[in-house]
Amino acid sequence: MHPIIVTISISLSFLARGVFPQDQYYHLPKNVRPFRYNLTIEHHKNTSFSGSVSIDIKVLAVTKNITFHSKDLTLGPIRLYDTIGREIYIVNHIFDEDRDLCILFLRGHLVKHERYKLVIEKFVGNLQHEKSGFFLAKYNDEYGKERNLSLTHFEPNGARTAFPCFDEPGLRAKFIVSIIRDENYNSASNEKLAKSIYLGHGRYQDTFRETVEMPTYLVAFVISDFVYTKEIDRVRVLARREAIANGGGEYVLDEAVRLLRAMEDFTGLRYSLSKVDLLAVPSSYFLDGAMENWGLIMYGDDHLLYYKSTSTTEDLQRCTTYTAHELAHQWFGNLVTPKSWHYIWLSEGFAAYFQYHATDMVEPSWRLREQFVIEEVHKAFTGDLIPMAHPLNYVFEDANSFPSPWMYYYKASAIIKMTEHFLTPPLFREGLRIYLQRKKFSTSQPSDLYRAWQTAVDHANAGYLLDGMPMKKIWGTWDTNVGYPVVTATRDYRTGSLTLTQETYNADNSTGDSSVWIIPITYVLHGAKGSSFAKTMTDFWMTEKTMTLKDFRSDSWLILNKQHAGYFRVNYDTINWYRIIEFLRTYAFKSIHPLNRAQLVNDAFQLVEDAKLNAKIALDLSEFIKQETDYIVLKPFLKRIDSFDFMVAVTPEYPIFQQYVIQLLNFAYEHIGPEEVIRDTHIRKLTRVIVVRRLCLYGDERCQQFGLNKIKTWQRTGRLDIPTDLKFHFLCGAMQNANQHEWDFLFQQYYKADPNDQIIYIMALACTRNRLMLHSFLGQIYDYTNAITTAHRTKALVNMIENNVVGREVVLTYATTQTLPQNSSLEEANSADTITQIVPSRLTDQVELYQNSENAKLVPANFFTKEYLEQYEIDYIDQISDWLRDRQNTLEM
């Protein structure tokens, strides 16, 4: 029978492609919908599982077939009953393997509006190993013993591999989940445990309360030997026994309670389930960081567990903001679900927005509303220039060709943030409350959101905020156009007029796109009465490609896009750029909002990369950093320096460039200091980290000496006194000039250290600039008889290549003269493709030598030639080099 089914399934798929439009081919027919599942899963010794499911369905259209999803499952008897228990005869069923469908053919028609019960009496499947569906994970306990756990990750289409179901986000239903497990394990699911029954032979059946209506991708269960923290206001943390015993869940438990209440207050809607468990699993099994399953949120443990003695300030912020992100999903995505994956931004965009803004509600001193701009908005710009960029509303063929996260996380949240500004926060919030109230326990599409915001505007008689335009029209340009707009402001200093021109930037660096964006323009004209950065309501709307305005006469500068509220970049005429530059060099520079100082840097450097601005202007602009201490400005500046670093590293001016950056950061370093103090705020700690990180990376003598002094004290007292935030950076600085004795001492400590410190020490050892020591270290990295773990070998090798100018040359030489072992754990780090991506010195003799080795098979033949670079990249490098040579005499080399 199986060969016949395969033949039919192929024919059916072929016919279906001709019948259905592309965007409907992978969708289920709309003749029935589920409204309740009763699901039992039996777990079999970490290799397989079996189960049964009954699905209550409602008929939406007269039909003689039922189609549902099933993938990699062996199905037993399938039965269908009406409401009084009469069996409906199933003539046959076939599988469409291309679409993961099981199609039932019935003898008679199902009656519209009637309800039926579909029963799959048994199904069998194997636990997955792809970290999706129902899969097996492993971890080592505190005694080093390997332990197993089995868990689920169903987004976007993994539920069908765990149980037969209607696996689309628009098909919501209630679930009663039962788990049959071994007595040495426990289980958890979306709702609280209702009862646990002993079945004999060391087996238990746990049955959980019925859930509210939700889509299949949010169903979750886990079978493990994990333990809980205490419960506070519906919230618990579930993790490894030793993690809970060591207090790893306490911080996030407290923050999650506050964040849950903050979201309830913002939305005006109480959280819908009886509990929310936060589950920490080994991070290697959750590469996306977390999953928002309703009532059972799953995290990689480094995104949830926080230990005061060993975690960093960046860890603290990551754990908090990721918790905010997933809790926001309990409303945006769970309570209201996108009707289709085409609109996933309705879920992820709001979660990314609240990741920062909900955390800001409970930790206002962290300045997360500003951090949102320099993180999410700046990432959105980057994502809009990648080849796979697409509109927010993106029709794709199936859930296996999912849209780019750059769009539905970063770009969506950036435009949502822009909307908050032009609507004003009160109307923005009121619109979201209307949206959630109207669509709760249901599905939505973008028009529902726009309609809710429009209702809020209309009720407040605030149409003037939108210049009389409907929300749908404004958002229609932002959810449909690809790329982002760049607004060029050109001033006529004789007449006082201002001409604005908008162009669309996209992946091919082209500005030939004819798209027109409806852009909310705000501005500050320095010296003009009442002009300030404080208010971000729209000054005027740009609705055409070009517009000219009068009365912009001023002897000073003009800055568009206050607080970087709008999702667009800005370019200026040269005179205005230099008026801004001159003002930034004065002591009054802080009167320009920090987000606008960050914007100026970010826009200018990107415009240089796009060949729309001379590098001299961006570098002249950057000189104000020598008096800057604000994290909100320094963080994006240093990110931009990374792209300059990659280019300049191929030139003789690279040492000048490094010294220039060091001198720009001198004031910030002196202001912040190398040591933590009691008065340190969260932002001050983050600032110290990014400044010290860059100074140590570029070989600053203060960093090197500070680190060496700490090592000498460590040798004398047996105690290393460097805060976790800075430990790697100062040890790396120390190793840059360490002698053999000091280097050997740190290597000895590696073998004695706990796993967290081992990673720090092995990476710091790779920072030495002594060629003999590096060569010797490479020999030990590739010597599999010693006790260096395979993961640590890769960490050391990659750090040597990425962050050590001498190290990358030694690695390349080593790779051409030694036979590298074929070890899977180092395969990625050893590959020529990887090395050529992270080694900037692709025009050097070392790379030419590497080209001729056996290890360069994957490299394009022209990669090592100057012709590989685009002309604008060559011009860009030449402009930077010229500027650095001009500045060389003013630097302390």
Please state the φ and ψ torsions of residue 60, each to the nearest 5 degrees.
Answer: -100, -25
Options 326, 376, 430, 503, the catalytic residue? 326
Distances (CA, A) of 664 to 625, 676, 764: 6, 22, 25
Among the residues of 469-543, which ranges form H helices? Answer: 471-478
Which residues does residue 182 pair with via DSSP β-bridges, in sequence order?
203
How many residues are recorded in the chain?
893
Angle at 357 between CA 351 and CA 360, to 5 degrees: 140
Please state the φ and ψ torsions of residue 155, each to the nearest 5 degrees.
Answer: -75, 130
Q: Is 348 annotated as a binding residue?
A: yes
Q: Are 92 and 145 in contact (CB under 8 A)?
A: no
Find how far residue 284's CA is from the centre of its chain: 15
Q: Are 182 and 198 in contact (CB under 8 A)?
A: no
Q: Are 115 and 41 in contact (CB under 8 A)?
A: no
Burial of 837 (0-12, 13-18, 19+ CB in 10 A): exposed
Q: Which residues contact 689 (CB under 8 A, 6 or more apart)?
A: 312, 313, 314, 725, 726, 729
Please state the φ and ψ torsions of residue 567, each to the nearest 5 degrees.
Answer: -90, 75
Find how far residue 355's CA is from the centre of its chain: 11
Distance between CA atoms of 571 and 603, rounded to whole angstroms?
A: 7
Distance between CA atoms of 470 and 454, rounded to whole angstroms?
A: 7
Q: Which residues contact 467 (CB under 8 A, 6 or more apart)?
A: 538, 540, 541
Distance between CA atoms of 421 and 560, rounded to whole angstroms?
A: 14
Distance between CA atoms of 832 and 424, rounded to whole angstroms?
A: 51
Q: Which long-range contacts (CB under 8 A, 24 or more apart) does 444-450 make?
A: 444/336, 444/337, 444/338, 444/339, 444/343, 444/346, 445/338, 445/339, 445/340, 445/343, 445/346, 446/343, 446/346, 446/392, 446/393, 446/475, 446/479, 447/472, 449/346, 450/475
Q: Which residues contact 203 (CB under 8 A, 6 or more apart)?
A: 180, 181, 182, 183
Torsion angle, alpha carbons of 297, 303, 308, 312, to 10: -160
Distance between CA atoms of 275 and 236, rounded to whole angstroms?
A: 8
Distances (CA, A) of 91 to 88, 166, 441: 10, 21, 35
H or E stretch at 797 = helix 790-803
Residue 463, amino acid: G
What single DSSP character describes residue 284?
G
Residue 558, amino acid: L
Q: Is 113 annotated as a binding residue?
A: no
Q: Are 428 and 416 in contact (CB under 8 A)?
A: no
Q: How many CB atoms lie within 10 A of CB 120?
A: 23
**Residue 326 a catalytic site member:** yes
Among the residues of 330-424, which ranges form H helices? Answer: 345-362, 368-372, 378-383, 405, 412-423
What single DSSP character describes residue 165?
B
Q: Which residues contact 3 (CB under 8 A, 6 or more apart)?
A: none
Q: Are 629 and 588 in contact (CB under 8 A)?
A: no
Nearest Cα residue to 641 out of 667, 659, 666: 659
What single DSSP character describes residue 209?
P
What are the binding residues for Zn(2+)?
A: 325, 329, 348
What are the binding residues?
A: 325, 329, 348
**Active site residues per annotation:** 326
